[in-house]
Amino acid sequence: MAQKTPEIYSVELSGTEDVGKTDTGDGKEKYRGLKDKRLELKKNHQKEELKKEVDLEDHKLSIKELERKYGTNIVTGLSSTQAAELLARNGPNALTPPKETPEIVKFLKQMVGGFSILLWIGAILCWIAYGIQYFNDKSSSLDSVYLGCVLALVVILTGIFAYYQEAKSTNIMASFSKMIPQQALVIRDSEKKTIPADIRLLSTQGCKVDNSSLTGESEPQSRSCEFTHDNPLETKNIGFYSTTCLEGTATGMVINTGDRTIIGQIASLASGVGHEKTPIAIEIEHFVHIVAGVAVSIGILFFIIAVSMKYYVLDSIIFLIGIIVANVPEGLLATVTVTLSLTAKRMAKKNCLVKNLEAVETLGSTSIICSDKTGTLTQNRMTVAHLWFDNQIFVADTSEDHSNQVFDQSSGTWASLSKIITLCNRAEFRPGQESVPIMKKVVVGDASETALLKFSEVILGDVMEIRKRNRKVAEIPFNSTNKFQLSIHETDDPSDKRFLMVMKGAPERVLEKCSTIMVNGQEQPLDDSTAEAFHTAYMELGGLGERVLGFCHLYLPADKFPETYSFDVDTVNFPTSNLCFVGLLSMIDPPRSTVPDAVTKCRSAGIKVIMVTGDHPITAKAIAKSVGIISANSETVEDIAKRLNIPVEQVSKRDAKAAVVTGMELKDMSPEQLDELLTDYSEIVFARTSPQQKLIIVEGCQRQDAVVAVTGDGVNDSPALKKADIGIAMGIAGSDAAKNAADMVLLDDNFASIVTGVEEGRLIFDNLKKTIAYTLTKNIAELCPFLIYIIAGLPLPIGTITILFIDLGTDIIPSIALAYEKAESDIMNRKPRHKKKDRLVNAPLAIYSYLHIGLMQALGAFVVYFTVYAQEGFRPSALINLRVEWEKDSVNDLEDSYGQEWTQYQRKYLEWTGYTAFFVGIMIQQIADLIIRKTRRNSIFQQGLFRNKVIWVGIASQIIIALILSYGLGSVSALNFTMLRPQYWFVAVPHAILIWVYDEVRKLFIRLYPGSWWDKNMYY
């Protein structure tokens, strides 16, 4: 870095304005830009580097050193030429947008992914076959060309469909670049302004910034020029890019811009994190491999058989195509997509917005949730939680609407306390919100004052009116040196001409100024025992992780301070000691009321909830306890040590179920130690963690083979959100970066919505199993005809086009309908599935579908086929080895079993009738298949035959589509359908009933003998 010439340039993003212009009109704040290239990282080490802690040292340097380092002057700044030069070298102050995969690549991926490649091979084989045919005989039929085109069309259409579905749901990381252009640099009229780059502060005036998007701390942080902490994220003399300045003014020097800012580093960290395949994508890939493996091996096997049976190679190729088409469930992947998007829609209604369709299922297999605290588990606003007066701690209602304040309000102390709370408060409601509920009103003021204002408004009514009646005559605002706030008011009692002085502040400071204490409305001298009681209460509330404020007042004697007395806050011409202590009030960002229940539900669903927060360990632990992340009866090592009064080292780690780990401790841990930590403790809270550490925690969980969900809202969470198997961002509080890195957005920021999501995710996994089992079954019924055709020489029982009509026609709606099936048992009471053991398509599923139901279906469909041929004149025995003569165009007098003679077209028509019959046979049995797939374990009658209405829509659609194909399009010869006699529609019914009965028996034995041989082999 020494060789680089640091220069100052204007902070204006466009780089076109010169230095003078940054001295903005009101002169409240000046920025001088500096460029620092220290953080330029070697590309190949980038990721490793990024995983280290944020590396910044400028906050430790003095101003002089800074000037030297950047070769600039804090008064005059950079010359415009230097600035331009630097801009050219370092680029504008903007984040590099992440590289996007080109759309065309995404599209092509859809075109060759999954089964598409098999179908492409099929299509190309078709065209090759035609080419050979055409070469031999110019008049050969175009059938194979059509088939090739149809196959290509199927691939292209399903590809477009999948691409469209995906395009609809992906826009990851797009808004990182959107959040960049910030031209306004100056803080005016206390409106929030975003800091345009990382700056080292040179001079400040009551400056407070909101770092919540970066660190997750919900409270505004004061900024000053002093270096206060080694960690750049904690020190007070650095202002960060994209954080907002809430109040005060500051002047600073730009030390980092664009990608080199802390936010920029996090952003590139997020985009650098590889997004692994979702569990469902892995499952589907596994399934595609199984099916493709079966298809290719049967195809090649029969190709060899056909060739060795002296079939022409050309014919063998056509058989191969038929086998591939029969084996590939063309419609299934589209069905899965639709099923997932249906669930996604259902989840969106329940406030889980799914960005990445596959994430729908991921949530269901989640085994660890790493939850952020602020905003997710908590309401993200300070709220009065406890009060202490009259030597008693009172609990305030911290629920979202504060409606249920039950503490004793009859005491005189409360009357005084409430007056102090109301009067000693600078926060005000924004005007024009009369119709808004109190808790939702926008307040101008800091978080604690807002909490107090709302608290008093709820209990006392119109605070503004009370303040009006008690006119303020003087005020000392809060500052960090005296740590109290004081104001003097006229009283609203017209007979009482005294002034009321009210004060609030850090409890110990306030107590110092008091000589009396109010108990039950009576002033009493402050003795040791009351002071002791105060300290106990203070420690107790502090131990709950709450921020405690002390309140006191003093009625100024009317003789010394007449009505006309002029108070001067600079000389303090009024007493500030010997006040009367009234009470304590503690505030916390309280947990959302729905969270404890949701955490319990996660527990019973076998999901481990880990809290990861940037907040203090005490607060984190308190919240963790109150929401049940640390359950009531479990202790940390420290708790045990404290209880037994022994050093922490002596406590056996086995005894502790819970652990609170800080970022500092985590920093010194090896991955093995982290693994140990994650496995040993069931209840873990990580506090004071940095974004990089969140990432390390997520990785640690993933090493346990867990499917990890991460919730978060800040920019700092985005790398972890991306790394997680499923990242969940907060919709209301969440930053754009978090939302973009996430797979799912909780619209109501409510942790409880995750539980709904888990339930839906688990259900969809079960239902996808059913859908796939349903779809795979008929593949055997479609495949057997080809095998029999090759081996026994029957006229082809079902055509390739007809197969496509089943796969993409009659079967589509029923298989989607299975997505609407209700759960068979309480899915929230079982463990999350093991991502390597509980497969979507397992051996029993494939075997049961292919070799049991599939085979029964094939037999049933053959019965229909043989019936049609027999009743038209060709008995089954006559069909054997008839293939060659049957297919010859020149044979126009083929004799049937009765001596009648058939022309080629008459036979062809009969063949199509056979296709239609076989098709109807499969369709009828698929209805039975659909019904049996409603459950995997329970009887259909337990599940209720009519509970899922969509199934019946599916059945109706199957029948209607088949009727249309047969009777409506029966005359279109290209489709190979004919009008089938009505009675043939019922031939397969006995087999359909057999399928149902057989499956009921299977389920019965599974229920009767759990864990038995039958259960192991027959339950899928």
Partner 1 sequence: MVIQKEKKSCGQVVEEWKEFVWNPRTHQFMGRTGTSWAFILLFYLVFYGFLTAMFTLTMWVMLQTVSDHTPKYQDRLATPGLMIRPKTENLDVIVNVSDTESWDQHVQKLNKFLEPYNDSIQAQKNDVCRPGRYYEQPDNGVLNYPKRACQFNRTQLGDCSGIGDPTHYGYSTGQPCVFIKMNRVINFYAGANQSMNVTCVGKRDEDAENLGSFVMFPANGNIDLMYFPYYGKKFHVNYTQPLVAVKFLNVTPNVEVNVECRINAANIATDDERDKFAGRVAFKLRINKT
Contacts with partner 1 by CB under 8 A lie at 47, 51, 273-274, 276, 695, 699, 702-703, 851-852, 855-856, 859, 862-863, 866-867, 870-873, 875-876, 890-893, 895-906, 909-910, 973, 981, 987, 990-991, 994, 1013, 1017
Q: In this structure, what are the phi and psi dihedrals at residue 32, rounded to the nearest 5 degrees?
A: -120, 130
Distance from CA of residue 247 to its chain's centroid?
33
Sorted by sequence, the CB contacts under 8 Å of residue 905 that are 6+ apart come out as: none
Give the nearest distance from C-beta 583 to partner 1 in angstroms.
52
Q: Is 665 helix (H, G, I), strand (E, B) or coil?
A: helix
Identify which of residues 324 and 853 has a Cβ nearer to partner 1 in the complex: 853
Q: Which amino acid is at 971?
A: S
Whole-number minimum distance, CB 894 to partner 1, in Å? 9
The answer to whether residues 555 and 493 touch, using CB atoms and an 8 Å cutoff, is no
* Beta carbons of 484 and 504 less than 8 angstroms apart: yes
Pair of tokens at residue 496: 């009482």
Computed on alpha carbons and rounded to an integer, the radius of gyration of the chain in Å comes to 37
Span between the terminal Cα atoms of the chain, in Å: 62
Q: Among 198, 210, 372, 896, which one carries the catalytic annotation?
A: 372
Residue 145: both structure tokens together? 């060309």
Q: What angle do CA 844, 847, 852 make, to 5 degrees?
A: 115
Token pair for 426: 């600078």
Three-class DSSP category at 220: coil
For residue 485, give the H/E element and its range: strand 484-490
Instruction: Name which of 200 and 852 has its Cβ closer to partner 1.
Output: 852
DSSP letters, 269-301, are HHHHS--PPPHHHHHHHHHHHHHHHHHHHHHHH
Separation of alpha carbons 864 and 854, rounded Å: 16
For residues 59 and 839, which CB has a smaller minimum distance to partner 1 in the complex? Answer: 839
Neighbours of 493 (CB within 10 A): 11
Q: Smallest distance from the beta carbon of 906 to partner 1, in angstroms?
A: 5
* Strand, helix or coil for residue 782: helix
Q: Which is nearer to partner 1, 148 or 700 (CB)?
A: 700
Q: What are phi and psi of 576, to 5 degrees?
A: -125, 25
Q: Which residue number, 48 or 100, has a Cβ lying nearer to partner 1?
A: 48
In the chain, the amino acid numbered 833 is R
405 neighbors 461 (Cβ within 8 angstroms): no
Which of the 8 DSSP states describes residue 378?
B
CB of 92 or CB of 873, closer to partner 1? 873
CA separation, residue 518 to residues 526, 533, 575 (Å): 9, 13, 19
Minimum CB–partner distance for residue 296 and partner 1 (Å)? 20
State the Cα–Cα distance between residues 917 and 361, nearest whole angstrom: 39
* Structure tokens that stand for 476 in this block: 């000392």
As a whole number of angstroms, the longest Cα–Cα distance in the chain is 134
* Alpha-carbon gap, residue 168 to 356, rounded angstroms: 9
Q: How far is the CB of 136 from partner 1 (least distance, A)?
A: 12
- The answer to whether the Cα torsion of 773, 774, 777, 783 is positive or negative is negative
Is 315 assigned a catalytic role?
Answer: no
Strand-pair category, 352-354 with 744-746: antiparallel
For residue 104, the minimal CB distance to partner 1 (Å) is: 25
Cα angle for residues 547, 552, 555 (degrees, 5° grid): 160
CB of 927 to partner 1, least distance (A): 18
Tokens at 524, concatenated: 């009493």
Distance (Å, whole) CA 657 – CA 673: 16
* Smaller CB separation from partner 1, 944 or 990: 990
What would the DSSP string read from start to end of 241-277?
Answer: TT-EEEEEEEEEEEEE-GGGSHHHHHHHHHHHS--PP
Q: Are 201 and 225 in contact (CB under 8 A)?
A: yes
Query: Is the Cβ of residue 770 or residue 852 nearer to partner 1 in the bound state?
Result: 852
523 vs 699 by CB, closer to partner 1: 699
Residues near 16 by Cβ (< 8 Å), separated by ≥ 6?
none
Nearer to partner 1, 133 or 586 (CB): 133
Q: How far is CA 793 from the centre of its chain?
A: 56
The smaller minimum CB distance to partner 1, of residues 208 and 907, is found at 907
When the beta carbons of 941 and 1013 are compared against partner 1, the nearer one is: 1013
Tally of residues, the chain: 1020
Question: How far is the CA of 991 from the CAs of 857, 986, 988, in angstroms?
Answer: 7, 10, 5
Beta carbon of residue 1020, minimum distance to partner 1 (angstroms, whole number): 16
C-alpha–C-alpha distance, residues 240 and 220, integer Å: 13
CB of 275 to partner 1, least distance (A): 9
Helix (H) or strand (E) run with residue 658 in it? strand 658-662
Cβ nearer to partner 1, comparing 181 with 671: 671
Distance CA 95, CA 110 (A): 31
Task: Give the catalytic positions in this structure.
Answer: 372
